Amino acid sequence: GTPSTSRKNEMLGENVVIAHQLLTAHKCYIDELMEGLKTEMDCIRDFEFLLEPDENGKNTPGPSEDQVLSYFESVVQFLDKGTDNGNKLRRTIDKICRAETTQNYYPTHLSGIQLQVDYNLKSTLSVGALSNATPPTEI
The domain total for the chain is 1
| 137 in a structural domain | no
117: helix, strand or coil: strand
Lowest mean per-residue pLDDT among 1-5, 29-33, 93-97: 1-5
What's the CA gap between 117 and 94, in Å, rounded?
A: 10
* Amino acid 92: pLDDT: 93
- 75 or 8: which leads in pLDDT: 75
Q: Buried (b) or exposed (e) across 68-97, using 16+ Cβ within 10 A?
A: eeebeebeeebeebeeebeeebbebbbebb
pTM over 0.75: no
* Amino acid 127: pLDDT: 41
| 73 in a structural domain | yes
| 39 in a structural domain | yes
* Amino acid 50: pLDDT: 93
Residue ranges making up the domain that contains 10 = 5-132
* Amino acid 10: pLDDT: 64
Which residues is 115 bridged to in the sheet? 125
| 139 in a structural domain | no
pLDDT tens string 25-79: 999 999 999 999 999 999 999 999 999 887 877 788 899 999 999 999 999 999 9
| 29 in a structural domain | yes
| 19 in a structural domain | yes
Report the percentage of the chain scoring pLDDT > 70.
Answer: 63
- 6 or 32: which leads in pLDDT: 32
